[in-house]
Homo-oligomer: A and B are copies of this chain.
Amino acid sequence: MPKTVAAFGEVMMRLAVPGYDLLSQASSLNYSFSGTGVNVASALSRFGHTGLLVTRLPQNPLGEAAAAYLRKLGIGSDFVQRGGSYLGLYFLENGFGARPSRVTYSNRLESSFNTAPEGAYDYAAIADKVDAVHFCGITLAMNDGVRAHMKALAQAVKARGGTVIFDCNYRPSLWGEQGYAAAKPHYEEMLALADIVFMNEKDAMLTLGMHTAAKERDEQLAELIPLVAERYGIRAIAGTHREIHGDNSHSLRGFLYKDGKLVRSKRLTFSVYDRIGAGDAFASGIIHGELERFEAERTVNFAAAAGMLAHTVAGDTPMASEQDVLRAVESSVGDVER
């Protein structure tokens, strides 16, 4: 049965140099609007749910363009506020083979989202309407104002019995010199509120400071994730391991820890067209499985296939329907490495 899910997060303008040119070679840019929340809300609405975004856009032509783009993606606008002056934006130069991609940010701290004042969002109204709410560690890194909105909204949803979802998504460049130390208390607050969490063994070790004698990441995962679930009272924890190959192909394997059991997806290997946003597609697949009460194995394979498909479309935002993902789960059998 379709559910209503809100994602809380910033909308950014993505300005991508066409093809594989550098900014100093080209003279035009393709633009779209994205963000973790955008990606998750859009993916869930493609899976048949009502995906809403809780965000704040400027009252200017950039804000209108972003709002129109969100509507086009099928994202509900009930909680899209308008105010402030700026929209965060980033420039993307696609890498090729041995040359990595480059991302250059504008000053996103001045954005409408990151300067939303107290009272900007009506937590109670949102909590009344949604079955679940999604947050992300990138947002957590912004500033105290944003963090306050984030925690208050999580509490409001939890208080009304809704599901709180948190994607750890630690970005070193956003936490300044103190890094993990600065991040840890905020992460712990969110984990304590969360029902479904996206992370892997690295987050446990680095952000949460947990230890293990295991050397292989699969063992580390198997040891640490259950501890995290227990310590913070988390219903389900999911994540991926990725390998990057020399020929523009990647391998992806998802996991889902739930009810005391760690389930792994098949390892998928596939050619990559645009990798940004693939993690959000995986997360959306897990959330869909949880909302629809799939069995764990079905959920994690669905999520991995959703993640794989997100590497095959332009832009950050997953475009696959539930049917597309199911077809990929089936047909990828032949391509899977056992």
Residues of A bordering B, CB below 8 Å: 15, 18-25, 27-32, 60-62, 64-65, 67-69, 71-74, 85-86, 89, 91, 93, 95-99, 102, 104, 106-107, 110, 246-249, 268-273, 308-309, 311-315, 319-320, 324, 328, 331-332, 335
Contacts and interface: CB of A to CB of B under 8 A. Distances in A.
A20 B268 CA distance: 21
Contacts of A314: 19-21, 25
Nearest to A102: B61
Given A29-B29, A107-B110, 18 more contacts: A20-B313, A22-B319, A24-B64, A24-B65, A24-B67, A24-B72, A25-B314, A27-B32, A61-B104, A69-B72, A85-B107, A98-B311, A98-B331, A98-B332, A99-B320, A99-B324, A246-B271, A247-B249
Given A74-B71, A313-B20, A98 B328 contact: yes
Oligomer copy total: 6
Given A25-B314, A247-B271, A313-B99, A62 B74 contact: no
A147 to B, nearest CB: 22
Nearest to A97: B271
A86 B99 CA distance: 24
